[in-house]
Every structure is written in structure tokens, then in C-alpha cells.
Structure 1
Amino acid sequence: MNQDDIIVQHLARTPRLRVAMVTETFPPEVNGVAMTLGRMVSGLLARGHSIQLVRPRQGSTDVASQEEHFQETLAPGVPIPRYGGLRFGLPLQSRLGQIWSSSRPDLVHVATEGPLGWSAVAAARKLKLPVTSGFHTNFDHYSRHYGFGWLKKPVAGYLKRFHNRTAATFVPTAEMARDLGGQGYTNLQVLARGVDRQLFDPARRSEALRQEWQVAPEQLAVLVVSRLAPEKNLHLALRAFQAIREVRPDARLILVGDGPARKSLSQSWPQAHFAGMRSGEDLASHYASGDLFLFPSLTETFGNVTLEAMSSGLPVVAYRSAAAAEVIEDGHSGLLAEPGREQDFIAAARRLAADPALRRRLGRAARERVEPIDWECIHDRLESAFFHIVRRHQRLPGQENHFLQIVPD
């Protein structure tokens, strides 16, 4: 056992990190980044660490939490165009410098790359604090879906400069680490996402809910859980559902989520059931009450919904990308199509709809596959990574040794 391992083990027994986390989105906002950050904060707090969260104010009545180990600093923000409910935090470098000078964190973690995030990296570097980042969203891929395709290269360049200014960038998959590494990103570390298997459980299946969907016990409920937005490739899901109806005329499409494309989708598909935004046990019941899950997106960095569907015992049809590429074994725990091969995706959906035995087998295997992908394991890896980064930073010449002293047992 080397010295770093001894340090990490000792600190894990007596955790005492002071972590400043900066993000443009956080619960109760509903999206993958907010959910992941909420989980990270909860996991660190449960391990005894202190968190200072910096985020945009979410409304006029929003009040910053001030608890013993969890304090919030609210930043001004502006709405993100065509992305209702989310805001860019405005730069806050001077204020963050003052806050972190008087109450110095051991590490700053910046989760989002907006103006608030950039100013946080600048403030941390000026104070010679170790700073890490998270790559959660392919903003450069999104640009073409919102009429800003000409910005793809500048946005990609900005993202690389942003993350390469930090000591480590956490990415959710090995595939993304290889992709970003090939683009010139440095200091990449893979930190996957977990799933709450107690919440997302096949036992939450509800016939009463299926009746609300107007789906009889013998009918096929085809489920999509997604932000209803252009970048989610939902028109492919609709085409796949049309193919499903050729072999299962009684099939019903259930879309869970909300977003700017909801109006146009509901006009195009009035026969589908639009369940709106769901969360907690209600969302878990929606998953478990479906029979087949479609995930057509190609813009995800991970895709938390893939794990949630699998944990709920649903057979998944997805592209071999993001989380699906890492956790689904084609033909065993789901069906995969190569990215961009739309006809293969549609054929897989049709095949699964036509074969009840295959759906049952893949659903059981999917549930088993996510058993070891637990949030507690992810939090252990995050904590360990933070400890190592703090200790490595302290060894750099000229760094202030402000971290609590380690007393040998």
C-alpha cells in the first residue's frame, strides 16, 4: 500500500473536506445535470464533508440555505434561450474571491461551463485553490438543433479551454474520455453515474396508472422519458413507434417529460399519451408500468434514463452511445443500433415489440446488469478522487498547506 492509499484510507475514516461546488442548475430543477449534482452533494454530505454551493437564483422567492455543513451562495442569472426553466449564472469572480479568501475551501468543483463557471475557475486559480470540473452536456452538439450551428467550432474551443484550466475533468464514460482526449482535452477522469435500484424497481408497476394511459393489461406500452426538445431526436422514436404499430396495432406511446417540442409533438401525435414532467416515486411508477423503452438520442454525455429504465426491468432500444454503450450488451440486456443507423434502430424496436419472451428476458437481464452500478460506489470514487487531487495540489511548490493535519493512528 503506497502513501496516497494510506492517506485516503485515513481521511475516509475521518472525512473533513470543505468543497465549493459551482453549478448553473440544481434541484428542484429537473434535468440530468441537476439530478447528478444533487446526488453528488448528498453523497458528500453523508460522508461528513462540508459543501458550499454556488448557483443562480431560481426565482424571486428563492432563499439560500444556511445549514451547518451546507451553505448556498445565490448568483444572478439570465434565462437560457429556448431552454425554458434553466439559467446561465452571471460572472461572480470578485465575490467568489472574497468568499473563498475568508472561508477557504479545500477544493472547488465547477459542474457547468457558463459565465458563472468560468468566473469560478478564474477565482479558484487566482487563489491557488485546486479546481476540478465536470463535463455533463455536449453544448457544441446542441448548437445545430437551436439554429446556432455556425457556433459549433467556437463553442467546442471554449469548452476545451475551460476544462483544460482545471486539475481534472470528470467525464461519465470511457468512450467520452477517449473522444475528448483525441480532441486535446487533458486530465480526464472517468466518473460514471449511478442508479437508485430501490426507487427504480419493477415492483412499482401499476395497473391503475396503465388504466390512466388507457392501456389494458395485454396491451403494449412503449415508453419514452426525455426532455421534449429538438436535440433528443424524438422524431426517430415516433418513426420506430409507427413500425411497432405494424406488428402490435394495440401499442400505445407514452411520453414522459416536457420541453419546447411538446406542443408540436402533441399536434403531430394526438394519439400518444403525454404524461408531462414526473419525479420521485411517481416517475418510478411510470417506468415500471411500461413494457418497452426507446432512447433515440445521440447528444447525451451519459443518459441517466437508460439506467433508470433498466433498473425498472424495461428492455431498452438505444444507440451504441453514452451509457448504453457501456452498460447494455446487445441481445442480452437490451438492443443496440450503431449511431446514426436509423433503420437498425427502428428494426430493433419492431423486433422487441413482436417478441414478448425476448422482452421478458432482456428486462430481467437489464435489472441484473445495473445491480453493481450504485450511487454509493460512485460517491466513494468521487471522494477518493477529491482527496487525491487535494493532496497532489499541496505538494506543488508555493501552495499553502491549509488542509487539516493528518495524525497517524
Structure 2
Amino acid sequence: MRIGIVCPYSLDAPGGVQVHVRDLAQRLIGLGHDVSVLAPAEDDTPVPEYVEAAGRSVPVRYNGSVARLSFGPVTAARVRRWLDAGAFDVLHIHEPLVPSVSLLALWLASGPIVGTFHTATDRSRAMQVAFPLLRSSLEKIVARIAVSEEARRTLVEHFGGDAVVIPNGVYVDTFSGATVRPEWQGTPERPTIAFLGRTDEPRKGLHVLLEAVPRMLEQRPGTRVLVAGRGDLDALRAAAPDAVEVLGEVDEQGKGDLMASVDVYVAPQTGGESFGIVLVEAMSAGASVVASDLAAFRRVLDSGRAGFLFPTGDPAGLATALLAALDDPAERDRRRAYARDWCHQYDWSVVTDQVLDVYGLALGEGDGHVAQDPLARRMLSRLLGGADDD
């Protein structure tokens, strides 16, 4: 099958949707499919050979984070040429209503189109305002996927219709094969706790963890807290308690090794999470997980059977949950063992088969193969002042 996949967010910055698209493409290629991915990226950014770079992007704040999006006449021209050259059987657009290459591809294409919706949010005025403008484009999508019940709820409440829930995927065996590194491994007297994420993005909840650390140290004075991720690391080092060790950014191998080495992985996010892929990665690596009681996290951790939950945004509650995990090794190991089995439902070997079933549905519902929509192309050219020009 010839499959085109569109990612709206720039590959110049890491993110969950980008990783999802990359892993899905690699899995499909491994199964023998012909896959091309279109995503924003600078022309000199190293990308896999199956990726077509759509050009530079601009940062836009949304849903408590910063997304790097690409739009405009030059980008539209690249999308058009990619569609022409692709001759795709199926077009799979991630976040199809995000004003980037995803929305451009949706406007310009017709045929068997699959849309995957990742975002989970409460009532959004922007979405409500945009719906009348995007209704006709949304109707082009013949099969919809949501990565979680929370993402499905957001889609239904704001745009109507429905979607099949297919979770984000993880290469479980890759994380289960991670290496325990002595410098990150804890001992009974000096256990280790890890946080991974942008240190200066409030919704990642590092501030909640930092407030919880002194409370926890009263009972566990030897505990080490390892913080990995991008951000203003000098400011973090100056403000963090002495028990906090700032590692900076780690690569994919380092991420798995960190999770496999520590006694507890903590996810103190405060909102804006539609799934919780990092929890699945941590469970796959064998870490004991402590996470905020967000609906998406609760679902991934099977209501606490696969990890420990604490009230979202509550430093005292986080300290209590961390101490519960550290002080009862038998219970910690019991939940880790449950998590090891539970997380296999998120392996790409399972998830990709579900995605392929949706592709089959799209092929049955769509008209022929993916082609350009002539009317949309003319309208977009007028709107952007020359989308046919590079």
C-alpha cells in the first residue's frame, strides 16, 4: 500500500505527535508498505529518507504548550507537489485541523483520507469559532482515529461525529531492553526518582515535584531526584533543592536507560495530556510510575493498578505517593509486574494492525485514490496569493 502521512508539528523540536508519526511510519515500512511523511522541518534538518521536509516553522502557543507550525504560499506549494508525486492509496493526516501542513493537505486533497486527533482539552472558544469554517474540510475525512477517550471527547464535543480510539504506540521491547546505568541506579539508602520533560513548560508539572521534594526528604533524606529535559537549566539548578540533579536533555537511548535505572519515574503533569505515552515508555522500561490523577493518566495506569496516582497539582499528595512507592518495595514490585503485562496492548505490533484496519475502512469508503481537489486548489491559491509558486 502507498501511504502518505502528514505531521503538523516541526521535526526540529521533539514532541509526542512527531514521535508517533515517526514510529508508525517505520512500523509500516517494516511491514512492506511504501510510506512518505510530510512534516515541517528546516531544509538542512537531518530527517529520515522517508520524510519530505515542508520548510521552516513558527512557534505558536496553544493548550499550555508551544507548537511549531508551517503555513503560507511556499508551504502550500510543497504540499501540492508532495500530493502530486505521492499517488497515495491512503492519506493519513495527524491533527488535520491544526493550521499547518495538516490543514493544507486536508484542503488540497480528496479521496481516502484518515484523520488522527491527538488533542484533549476542555471547551475551546477557538475550536467553536473555527468549526463553521472547517466543517466542509472535516467532511472529507472518511475515517477518524482518536488516540484516547479524552481526545475522542474533545473531537465529539467541538466538531460532532465520532472516532475509533486507537492509542499511541510504543516499541515495548526497545524500552524493556534498556540498560541500567549505575550512576542513575538507586540503593535502599539513596533511592532515585526521575522526571523527564521540558523544565520550563508549566503543564509538565516540574514545579509540583520541586515543592514536593522537601516534604519527601523529611522521611527519605538520602533520595536523589534526577531531572532530564530541555529548558533554562542554569535557572533550575539555582532554584532547585540540593537533592535535585539536573541532567539536561537526554537522547532516546538515554531516556530508556534513565527509566530502567531509577526506583520511581514521576509524571506530575497538571493538564493538557490526551494520552500519556511517557507512562507507557516508563512501564515498558520496568520503572515504578507515580503520576498525577489526570483522566488520561488514570486510564493508562489502569486506575492505579499499574502505578501510583496522586491528586493533580498537589505537592503534598505527590510527596505522600512517592513515599508510599519507596517505603513498600513489595507493593511497588507488584504494580511494576502488572504494568509489564498491561503495557503490551500499546506495542506497535498491536497498534499498527488497528491502524491498518482503519485504512481498509477508508479505502472502502473513499473514492479511488488520493488526488488533489481542483476547486480547493484554486481557492487556496487565491487565498494565499499564489500557492502554486515555490
2:108 to 123, 126, 133: 123
TM-score (norm 1): 0.77
Equivalenced residues, count:
359
- What's the RMSD between the two structures over aligned residues? 3.2
Amino acid at match of 2:114: T
Distance 1:325 1:42 in 2: 29
Is 1:350 the counterpart of 2:323? The answer is yes
Q: Deviations over 1:291-321 (max 9, x none)?
A: 1121111221112110111112222121333
1:197-208 matched pairs, under 5 angstroms: 197-201=172-176, 204-208=179-183
The answer (yes or no) to whether the contact 2:265–2:289 under 8 Å persists in 1 is yes
In structure 1, the residue matched to 2:353 is: 380
Distance 2:171 2:369 in 1: 38
The answer (yes or no) to whether the contact 1:223–1:254 under 8 Å persists in 2 is yes
In structure 1, the residue matched to 2:138 is: 164
Distance 1:331 1:101 in 2: 48
TM-aligned CA deviation for residue 171 of structure 1: 1.6
Structure 1: 5+ residue runs without aligned partners?
1-15, 142-150, 395-399, 404-409
The answer (yes or no) to whether the contact 2:131–2:158 under 8 Å persists in 1 is no
In structure 2, the CA distance between the partners of 1:177 and 1:291, relative to structure 1 (3 Å rule), is same
Distance 1:231 1:375 in 2: 27
In structure 2, the CA distance between the partners of 1:103 and 1:364, relative to structure 1 (3 Å rule), is closer
Is 1:237 the counterpart of 2:220? The answer is no
Comparing 379-388 with 346-355, greater Cα deviation is found at: 346-355
In structure 2, the CA distance between the partners of 1:358 and 1:28, relative to structure 1 (3 Å rule), is farther
In structure 2, the residue matched to 1:104 is: 87
Is 1:307 the counterpart of 2:290? The answer is no
In structure 2, the CA distance between the partners of 1:177 and 1:231, relative to structure 1 (3 Å rule), is same
TM-score (norm 2): 0.80
Structure 2: 5+ residue runs without aligned partners?
372-390
TM-aligned CA deviation for residue 221 of structure 1: 0.5
In structure 2, the CA distance between the partners of 1:332 and 1:302, relative to structure 1 (3 Å rule), is closer
In structure 2, the residue matched to 1:218 is: 189
1:192 to 151, 156, 167: 167
Q: Deviations over 1:143-173 (max 9, x none)?
A: xxxxxxxx95225644894883433332211
TM-aligned CA deviation for residue 380 of structure 1: 0.8
In structure 2, the CA distance between the partners of 1:280 and 1:28, relative to structure 1 (3 Å rule), is farther
Distance 2:369 2:333 in 1: 57
Distance 1:63 1:289 in 2: 30
The answer (yes or no) to whether the contact 1:131–1:167 under 8 Å persists in 2 is yes
In structure 1, the residue matched to 2:379 is: none
In structure 2, the residue matched to 1:287 is: 259
Comparing 288-297 with 231-240, greater Cα deviation is found at: 231-240
In structure 1, the residue matched to 2:375 is: none
Among the aligned pairs, what percent are the same residue?
23
Q: Deviations over 1:361-393 (max 9, x none)?
A: 222222232134311110111111112112111
Distance 1:19 1:118 in 2: 18
SS in structure 2 at match of 1:353: helix
The answer (yes or no) to whether the contact 1:97–1:123 under 8 Å persists in 2 is yes
TM-aligned CA deviation for residue 327 of structure 1: 3.0
In structure 2, the residue matched to 1:136 is: 118
Amino acid at match of 2:198: R
In structure 2, the residue matched to 1:278 is: 250
Distance 1:337 1:103 in 2: 48
In structure 2, the CA distance between the partners of 1:53 and 1:402, relative to structure 1 (3 Å rule), is closer
The answer (yes or no) to whether the contact 2:260–2:287 under 8 Å persists in 1 is yes
The answer (yes or no) to whether the contact 2:10–2:69 under 8 Å persists in 1 is no
Distance 2:154 2:316 in 1: 25
TM-aligned CA deviation for residue 21 of structure 1: 1.5
SS in structure 1 at match of 2:190: coil
1 or 2 for the larger relative contact order (CA 8 Å, sep ≥6)? 2
